[in-house]
Chains A and B, each alone.
Chain A
Amino acid sequence: MSVIFWLILGALVAVGFAYVVKNWKLTWYEWVLAILGVLLILWSVQNYSASQLEHEFRAATYFLVMLGVPGLILAAIGLVLPAMRAKKG
Chain B
Amino acid sequence: MPENLTRREFIKDLGKLGAAASLAPMVALGEQSSDKSVGLKRPSFIKEVDKPTTEIDWDLMERMSERERTCRRSFVKYVGQDRLDKLTEIRNQNTDKWLKEDKPGYTLKDVAIKSGSGSGYMSQSYLGPQSAKTPEKLGVAKYSGSPEEALQILQSAMRHFGAATVGVVELDAHTEKLIYSQDPDGKYMQILDVDEPLETDDTRVIPKKARWVITYTVQMSQETLNLAPTILGSQTTTLTYRRARNIQNRTQEFLRGLGYMGLGEASTNATGIAPAFGVMAGLGELSRYNRLLTPEYGSMVRVFKIITDLPLAPTKPIDAGLLEFCKRCLKCADHCPSKALSFDTEPTWKTQGEWNNPGHKAFFEDSVKCRNYWYEVGTNCGICFAVCPFASQNLASWSKFRNYMTATVPGFDKTLVSIDDLLYTPYTEFGKPQKDPEEWWKLNLPDYGIDTYQSVRGNS
The answer to whether A and B interact is: yes
CB neighbours of B215 from chain A (8 A): none
The reply to whether the CB of B200 lies closer than 8 angstroms to some CB of chain A is no
The contact of B396 among A3, A6, A7, A51, by CB within 8 Å, is A51
Query: Chain B interface secondary structure, helix, strand, loop or mixed?
Result: helix
Closest to A13 in B: B21
Q: B398 and A63: CB pair below 8 A?
A: yes
B451 shortest CB reach to chain A, Å? 9
Query: Chain A interface secondary structure, helix, strand, loop or mixed?
Result: helix
Q: B21 and A50: CB pair below 8 A?
A: no
Q: B396 and A46: CB pair below 8 A?
A: yes
A88 to B68, CA, bound (A): 85
**Interface band, chain B:** 20 to 34
The contact of B18 among A3, A58, A62, by CB within 8 Å, is A3
Q: A6 and B424: CB pair below 8 A?
A: no
A58 to B2, CA, bound (A): 45
Given contacts A43-B25, A43-B397, A47-B397, contact A58 B423 (CB under 8 A): yes
CB neighbours of A54 from chain B (8 A): 223, 392-393, 395-396
Closest to B424 in A: A59
Q: B18 and A50: CB pair below 8 A?
A: no
Q: A1 and B396: CB pair below 8 A?
A: no
Given contacts A50-B395, A54-B393, contact A62 B19 (CB under 8 A): no
Given contacts A50-B397, A62-B422, contact A55 B18 (CB under 8 A): no
A8 shortest CB reach to chain B, Å? 8
CB neighbours of B397 from chain A (8 A): 43, 46-47, 50
Q: A47 and B443: CB pair below 8 A?
A: no
The reply to whether the CB of B108 lies closer than 8 angstroms to some CB of chain A is no
Residue of B15, B19, B22, B424 most packed against chain A (CB within 10 A): B22
Closest to A47 in B: B396
Closest to B395 in A: A50
A1 to B21, CA, bound (A): 12
Closest to B222 in A: A54
A60 to B82, CA, bound (A): 49
A62 to B426, CA, bound (A): 13
A62 to B424, CA, bound (A): 10
CB neighbours of B422 from chain A (8 A): 62
CB neighbours of A59 from chain B (8 A): 396, 398, 423-424
A11 to B334, CA, bound (A): 47
Q: A6 and B21: CB pair below 8 A?
A: yes
Q: B424 and A58: CB pair below 8 A?
A: yes
Closest to B444 in A: A55
Q: B443 and A6: CB pair below 8 A?
A: no
Given contacts A3-B19, A6-B18, A6-B21, contact A58 B395 (CB under 8 A): no
Given contacts A43-B25, A56-B423, A58-B424, contact A63 B396 (CB under 8 A): yes
Q: B423 and A62: CB pair below 8 A?
A: yes
Q: A55 and B443: CB pair below 8 A?
A: yes
Given contacts A54-B392, A58-B424, A62-B423, contact A1 B22 (CB under 8 A): yes
Listed from nearest, the 8 A-B pairs whose CB atoms lie closest are A7-B18, A50-B395, A50-B396, A59-B423, A10-B21, A47-B396, A54-B393, A3-B19
Residues of A within 8 A of B (CB): 1, 3-4, 6-7, 9-10, 13, 42-43, 46-47, 50-51, 53-56, 58-59, 62-63
Residues of B within 8 A of A (CB): 15, 17-22, 25, 223, 392-393, 395-398, 422-424, 426, 435, 443
